[in-house]
Structure 1
């Protein structure tokens, strides 16, 4: 058994999305002691910013004419795609930044798609947990309803393109405890936190049993 775990927080020591993912992973590993866990942390070990450009241009270049950098980028894309495809289960911890996904995560997705092909269902039928955290509130009726451009994108990639058997755990209002002006939202934020941790335990157990 092989669990693929990816994190994208730039603040790993206090990451709300990683907290959720840690719980789900603990449930999975307790059911599969000694199994392989493949880790990739994009926030602390970012991929080269120019890798996707090099891989894309390399793909349109005859093999004999490719530069060493293009060959390296193409090999990186293939290796990243293989990590995903080899997973028996997957956990991704991806927070919202500036209303979307981080450049680190987008680079990873672009490279994986370059390595595997744009329509390859890398996670077809694979039980997958997406843990995502949002500093504010973006639900119906909120002032910034519709500003979450991260979660829909993640669902399109993971569930629609890669065809994962996807469970989404979303925790909102993570900044309420420390941000002036958000004091009235702190009770609601705590409820979001509690619900997310409960959902993480449940999702992890389901992941382990799939």
Structure 2
């Protein structure tokens, strides 16, 4: 049976673009793996502590870090909801990364996570795509791609719903059609990528 590790980090439990898209991904995954396992962590509702000296010293021997590293190692695939906050990832997601990355244990050239597919739903209120005025402010995809491949040699893929603030910001009203198109594409991508990934797990 395939195991999916699902992490959400959006602050609001309702009305979150990243949560809506990760939910669509999980639904499609479950349809393909009705007997599979989905391990879920809501990092906003139950935030992890920041890394401290004791946890660094203990490494994988720290009870929490051991739990997190074993959870990650047991996953056949990982799904991460990572909305952009202040041009970067939520601090709760950074706390998870700091706790779960243990150099010499699961990070490095021979990482046991190598090749694990990680799908990141990187939602954002505006657009930071190549060629846009704020392209240089994009530190979600850039950071997560580097840390997940650099530390774990994971296989990273992104789903990017953009312009999520168009409906709530009067100055962005003209962008509502583009926002709706981006949302629809993200939901479609989530279902298709989940099914394709599930197919790989079954092969």
Q: Tell me the TM-score normalised to structure 2 length.
A: 0.89
User: How far apart, in 2, do the equivalents of 1:89 and 1:171 lie?
Assistant: 21
Q: Which residue of 2 aligns with 1:44?
A: 45
Match of 1:204 among 181, 194, 198: 194
SS in 1 for 2:102: helix
Structure 2 residues without counterparts, runs of 5 or longer: none
8 Å contact kept, 1:100–1:148: yes
User: How far apart, in 1, do the equivalents of 2:112 and 2:166 lie?
Assistant: 37
8 Å contact kept, 1:80–1:112: yes
Task: Give the count of matched residue pairs.
Answer: 196
C-alpha spacing 1:160/1:57, structure 2 compared with 1 (3 Å): closer
Q: Flag the structure with larger Rg.
A: 1
8 Å contact kept, 2:82–2:89: yes
Alignment of 1:53-132 (within 5 A): 53-59=53-59, 74-114=62-102, 116-119=105-108, 121-132=111-122
Q: Tell me the TM-score normalised to structure 1 length.
A: 0.86
Q: Which residue of 2 aligns with 1:146?
A: 136
Deviation of 1:111 after TM superposition, in Å, equals 0.7
Match of 1:193 among 174, 183, 197: 183
User: How far apart, in 2, do the equivalents of 1:156 and 1:195 lie?
Assistant: 25
User: How far apart, in 1, do the equivalents of 2:52 and 2:99 lie?
Assistant: 5
Deviation of 1:80 after TM superposition, in Å, equals 0.6
Residue-by-residue CA offset, 1:93-141 (whole Å, 9 max, x unaligned): 1111110011111111011113745426343222321111001111233
Residue-by-residue CA offset, 1:157-205 (whole Å, 9 max, x unaligned): 2233212222210111100111121112111111111111111111011
C-alpha spacing 1:57/1:6, structure 2 compared with 1 (3 Å): same
